[in-house]
Structures are given as C-alpha cells and as structure tokens.
Chain A
Amino acid sequence: MDRKDEKGTEDEIFLTGLRQSLDRMDHILDHPSIPSKEYLKGHIHERLQRRRKSMMLELLLFWLVSLFVIGSGALLAYSAPWIVWLIQGMSFVAAFVLVLHFIIHRRREDLG
C-alpha cells in the first residue's frame, strides 16, 4: 500500500469515528420541543395575513405615486405653451422616422 492509499484509509477510519460520535450526540442530546401543529398553523395564518397586508399597502402606495405622476404630467401638459407641444411632436416624428430607418436598414442587411 503506498502512502496515498494509507492516508486515505486513515482518513476513512477517522471519518467513521466522527460519524459515530455525531450519531451518539444525536441520541444523547435532549430532544427539541417540537411546536404543535395548531401553534404552527396559527403562526402561518398570522404570517400570511401580515404579508397580505403589506402587499396591499405596497399596492396602495404604488397607485398613489402613479396618480401623483400622472396628475403632475397632465397638469404640466395642459399648462404648457404651444412651443412645448411643437417640440414634443417633432421629437415623436423624429423618433418614429429613426426607428423606421433602422428597421429598413437591418432588413436590407439581412437580405444582402
């Protein structure tokens, strides 16, 4: 048997001892007080309710913030002078033309 094999066997003997000691520890240590099913069920219900409440609160906050953003946008849009509308319209047309241009360009490249 070479040294490597010998070391492997020694390790295995040691690890078997370790496993046996841990098994013994499992038997010796006091068993935990396992929570009753009723207690766990109560706890699960409470947690789920709390989670549902927090989700509702998050949804409400989301809607409130959304309303605020939409309201602010609308207020800004209706009180804006005609030049803002002109810039918005021109940007939209420019963006549309650019997107169209890139799509056509890519299709041509794919065909070529």
Chain B
Amino acid sequence: MKTEERNKVKLAQQGDADVLAELIQEHYSFLYKYLVKVTMDPAMAEDLAQDTILRCIEKIRLHDGSSSFSSWLMTMGTRIYIDQMRRKKREKNWLFKERGIRRIRWQFESRNEEWNDVLESLANLSSEHRVTVLLKHYYGYTYEEIGEMLSIPSGTVKSRVATGVRQLREEMS
C-alpha cells in the first residue's frame, strides 16, 4: 500500500469523515467496474457497490493495512455478492442473469460496438468460476491472495481458475 494511502486509511480509522469520504470517492469507480465484471449486471453492480461502501464505513477500523484499500473493497464486494448469491440463489433464476447481460449488450449496441463471444462466454460462467478467473487473469492476484480474499484454500482457487478457463475456451470453440 502506498504511504499516502496508508496515511489516509489511518486518518479514516481515527474517525476523520472527510478523509474516509475522499477515499471512498476515489475508489468508487474502480469498485463499480470490478463488480460489473463479476456480476455481468450493471444494476446489480451498483447495488453491490453501495452495500460495499456501507460495510466499508462500518469496518474501516478493522482494515489492517496488509492489502491495498482497493483490494480490501474488492474482497468485501465479492463476499457480499457471494453471500447474496447463496441466500437468494439468484443464479438459478436465469431471468436475472439474462436481464443483466441484456443491459450490457444494450449499452454496447447503443454505442455501435460489437458484443463478442468472449464476453458472452464469461457471462455464462458460474459466479465462482468467473470471480476467480477475473481475479487471477485480469487483476493479476496470486492463488494465495485470491484464496484469502474468498476464504478458500489456494488449491481450490487453482482448480476453479483452470476449470473456468477450460469452460471459456470450450464455449468459444
């Protein structure tokens, strides 16, 4: 974590609302973009980003500085998403999934951009595989770091990433 960011986090932990608001504002866009990739649903990503911010305000004192502020936000956002998935079993409801992908496709089409097969296959992956593939191959975290973020063994992460990539490639071919 950068020194400037570490100082800001420290001040926020001491109760400086100004600094905490600044930190959240700086990282909001990054968090939202991450959550869109994870959920493949802009509306759901916005709800999740807000839930993550609320949790961040409540738990800022527990941030131990072992990871960057953005990684900490990503961890909380991912855990909230996984919890919601488990509780609501949303993924089984294909309507939710379809609605999310349709929203993204509509934005692509409105800008005359082509929606490609790679994104389609990524959207069709299960959430647990999609999260691990994204964290490993897009954000560049190690298997151990992802394991800590998701509270699962690094071996499980490795197998999920491999399965995810294999499924993506199979769907493409």
Contact = CB atoms under 8 A, between A and B. Distances in A.
Nearest to A39: B21
A18 B122 contact: yes
A14 B172 contact: yes
Given A44-B20, A48-B15, A48-B17, A18 B28 contact: no
A50 to B, nearest CB: 10
A77 to B, nearest CB: 41
Interface size class of B (residues with CB under 8 A): 35 or more
A14 B28 contact: no
A6 interface: no
Given A15-B165, A35-B28, A47-B57, A29 B17 contact: no
A41 B168 CA distance: 43
Interface in A7-28: 10-11, 14-15, 17-19, 21-22, 24-26, 28
Contact of A28 (B25, B28, B113): B113
A36 to B, nearest CB: 8
Interface string A39-54: 0110111011001000
A22 B37 CA distance: 8
B25 A34 contact: yes
Interface of B: 15, 17-18, 20-22, 24-25, 28-29, 32-33, 36-37, 42, 46, 49, 53-54, 57-58, 104, 107-108, 111, 113, 116, 118-119, 122, 134, 137-138, 165, 168-169, 172
5 contacts: A29-B33, A30-B107, A31-B29, A32-B33, A47-B54
Interface of A: 10-11, 14-15, 17-19, 21-22, 24-26, 28-32, 34-37, 40-41, 43-45, 47-48, 51
